[in-house]
Structure 1
Amino acid sequence: MKYYNLLAVLVFFGMIACSGEKKEDSAKEETVETALPDEANEVTVMTLKATDFNHELVSNGKLSARRHVDLRFESAEPIAAIYVKNGDRVSKGQKLAELSTFRLKNKTAQAKDALERAKLELQDVLIGQGYALADSARVPSATMQLARVKSGYDQAVTQYELSEYEEKNALLTAPFDGIVANLFAKQYNTASTADAFCTVIDPGSLEAAFTVLESELPLIKNGDRVEVAPFALSGEKTEGRITEINPLVDESGMVQVKAAVAGKGKLFEGMNVRVSIHRAIGNQFVVPKEAVVLRSGKQVVFVLDETKTKAYWTYVHTGLENADSYTIVDGLKEGDIVITSGNINLAHEAPVTIIEN
């Protein structure tokens, strides 16, 4: 009897175990079906057509002013007054500084007196040759030249003109509208004739000097638009135009290029800048960079089939590029519906669903 009871217990527990395994297998199948749903990939698309491509070359350069002048005094005299300081904006003809003119005026007066005495001496020499100063037009050139040298007239004229010039240039004025820079001299100190007193820069004449590769020369020309962004001013950008292409390739295969830049008051001479050259090239197939992916080391673009429900990959060759786009040289045709996003993990003939950008 005990034997039959034990057998019944074992059969009962065996039935419970089998029922648990079936429930567990059923749960696993349901979990797998939930984790791996047969859903289409969501993608955005564009219709390929020929358009203008904004080609971009990027280079580093430095700003300089086309109108930039170092001003210096002509005489080593004490500085009587300084009217400006570094950073001041000045107008053409505005006074910047002036020297003490006492000795300069005295020197001019002496030179003028010496000139008058030389003129009298010249007249005496001509009278000795049988001519009057009033009849100088009739005096032979050789005789006149001899009389001028003998009287010291030419030397006196030169000294007088030099004295007048030095006195006139005892006052420094701005040659054009601009900004004062490099002014380090102090009032009452003796001015240096060798070193510049100050520099005047026209901020409206800034230009960016940069280099491009020899192979990029066919892609640029005078008048092309450039975008200049100083490294020191984050987010600050300004536009310009190429004004000069130096017709010489250096040892490194680089060509010097200059572009006129609008200063906007925030750019300074000597700034290091990033230069982007933009040029519109017509009749190009253009796709976003996100549309091009790599498969087995080759460039691939996914396009939709006629039903617009499946993605087919197509091998392509890209040409030019800028910050966000490629031109397609081979592999696509006008009218193809190109997948522009959602293509990172796509497979060939994968089902897709189009969504709005």
Structure 2
Amino acid sequence: MKTRYYIYIALALLIGYLVYNKFYSPKGKEVMANNASKKGKRKTGPVPVDVMIVKDTVLNNSIDVTGTIDANEQVNLTSEAAGNIIAIYFKEGSRVQKGQLLVKVYDKDLVASLKQNEYQVALAKQNEYRNSILLQKEAISKQEYDTSLTSLQTLTAQGEVIKAQIAKTEVRAPFSGTIGLRNVSPGGYLVPGATIASLVNIDPAKITFSVPERYLELIKVGSRINFTVESSREKFAAKVYAIEPAIDLTSRTVTVRAEAPNPKDMLRAGGFAKINLALDQIPKTIMVPTQCIIPDLKSSIVYVAHNGQALAKPVQTDLRTDTKIQVIQGLEQGDSVIVSGIIQLRPKVPVKIMKVIK
């Protein structure tokens, strides 16, 4: 038992020596003082930050929407007459001019009927002329002359009907444009209403899109838009020329249509357009980088460098762009808004300005 007590006493003396040596001896006190000094320096050292000097800037208010590219004119070519196709006068994908003959349907029977009619009209004219002279000499009655005149007029009208039927055997381009892939072949039987090919005029192109009802007052005929398409890296411009008078009850949007020049055929009908629509311009406002704004319970705050310290200012924001946000209340010109190191900031934390962003 005594041996155990001696061991406990020895351990207690050893622990006491170690504690004294670490905390109460002159060397231990010096080490603790040095550690405390280093910790104090880390706590009170200034946070390096970049700042931006607040100034009034011009803000172009715009929204991004999506739209569809439509052709200026587009139609499926069809024939009014039925019959065998005797000739096709266009190449697929080629340019055609307004009035150009594209397809011809068999019409020899109609041409023969027209020639027969022309002979009959010529004979009827002679008969009408003779009867007019006889009527002047009172050799025939007025009724006999009227019968010959009516016969002439009837045959002339029949000739016009035949000419109209012959015209229907010709399919011509209703406007200038690019013709698509044909669905018929020479010698095939063409049924009225069957699609021969599509004809598209896409210069200028039409851009159709919708915007929310709240922006209706800001959109006018003549407003400019910029847009891009998936098939090209170029940026295109267009001008609004028509606005739908009624608002869509389901989406609460209004449909707008703009016109874009397309001389190089870079825009295709049915394409998808990403549109940037300029609404208005604010000549004087304050814009700060989005990362400066820190959401708070009731509002938002930004940190401003003031007298070597971080000062928290509540602000009110409005419009946003890709990288900046508009501050409509809480900042003044000349304020040094902190734009970096924000995660380390607290009110009255010392700061050291490393860079001033203009």
What is the TM-score with the length of structure 2 in the denominator?
0.76
Q: CA deviation at 1:186?
A: 3.2
Match of 2:45 among 9, 32, 38: 38
Task: Give the match's secondary structure for 1:226.
Answer: strand
Residues 92 and 298 of structure 1: CA distance in aligned 2, closer, same or farther (over 3 Å):
same
Q: Which residue of 2 aligns with 1:197?
A: 196
Match of 2:238 among 228, 237, 240: 240
Match of 2:107 among 88, 104, 109: 104
Q: Which residue of 2 aligns with 1:116?
A: 119
Task: Give the match's secondary structure for 2:189.
Answer: coil
Q: CA deviation at 1:154?
A: 3.7
Q: Which residue of 1 aligns with 2:286?
A: 286
Q: Distance in 2 between matches of 1:286 and 1:143?
A: 96
Partner deviation per Cα, 1:264-289 (whole Å, 9 max, x = no partner):
64432112333221245032313133
Whether the 8 Å CA contact 2:88–2:102 is kept in 1: the answer is yes
Task: Tell me whether 55-64 or 338-347 shows the greater mean CA deviation.
Answer: 338-347
Does 2:58 match 1:60?
no
Does 2:322 match 1:320?
no
Which amino acid in structure 2 is aligned with residue 114 of structure 1?
N
Q: Which residue of 2 aligns with 1:249?
A: 247
Aligned length: 336
Q: CA RMSD in A?
A: 3.9
Residues 238 and 342 of structure 1: CA distance in aligned 2, closer, same or farther (over 3 Å):
farther
Does 2:72 match 1:72?
no
Whether the 8 Å CA contact 2:204–2:260 is kept in 1: the answer is yes
1:148-297 to 2 correspondences below 5 Å: 148-151=149-152, 152-166=154-168, 169-170=170-171, 172-173=172-173, 175-176=175-176, 178-181=177-180, 183-230=182-229, 232-233=230-231, 237-252=235-250, 253-263=252-262, 265-287=265-287, 288-297=289-298
Gapped regions of structure 1 (runs ≥ 5): 133-139
Task: Give the match's secondary structure for 2:21.
Answer: helix
Residues 13 and 259 of structure 1: CA distance in aligned 2, closer, same or farther (over 3 Å):
same
Q: Distance in 1 between matches of 2:309 and 2:148?
A: 106
Which amino acid in structure 1 is aligned with residue 103 of structure 2?
E
Q: Matched residues, percent identical?
A: 18
Q: CA deviation at 1:45?
A: 0.9
Q: Distance in 2 between matches of 1:129 and 1:198?
A: 53
Task: Tell me whether 338-347 or 290-299 shows the greater mean CA deviation.
Answer: 338-347
Q: CA deviation at 1:207?
A: 1.7
Task: Give the match's secondary structure for 1:355.
Answer: strand
Residues 55 and 108 of structure 1: CA distance in aligned 2, closer, same or farther (over 3 Å):
same
When Rg is computed on C-alpha atoms for both structures, the one with the higher figure is: 2
Q: Distance in 1 between matches of 2:198 and 2:220?
A: 33
Which amino acid in structure 1 is aligned with residue 79 of structure 2?
F
Runs of 4+ in 1 over 6 A off after TM superposition: 5-10, 142-146
Q: Distance in 1 between matches of 2:101 and 2:116?
A: 32
Whether the 8 Å CA contact 2:49–2:355 is kept in 1: the answer is yes
Task: Tell me whether 145-154 or 216-225 shows the greater mean CA deviation.
Answer: 145-154
Match of 1:19 among 18, 21, 28: 21
Residues 30 and 149 of structure 1: CA distance in aligned 2, closer, same or farther (over 3 Å):
farther
Q: Distance in 1 between matches of 2:151 and 2:89?
A: 47
What is the TM-score with the length of structure 1 in the denominator?
0.76
Residues 160 and 16 of structure 1: CA distance in aligned 2, closer, same or farther (over 3 Å):
closer
Q: Distance in 2 between matches of 1:52 and 1:145?
A: 85
Q: Distance in 2 between matches of 1:279 and 1:121?
A: 72
Q: Distance in 1 between matches of 2:346 and 2:104?
A: 83
Gapped regions of structure 2 (runs ≥ 5): 136-141
Q: Distance in 2 between matches of 1:181 and 1:72?
A: 13
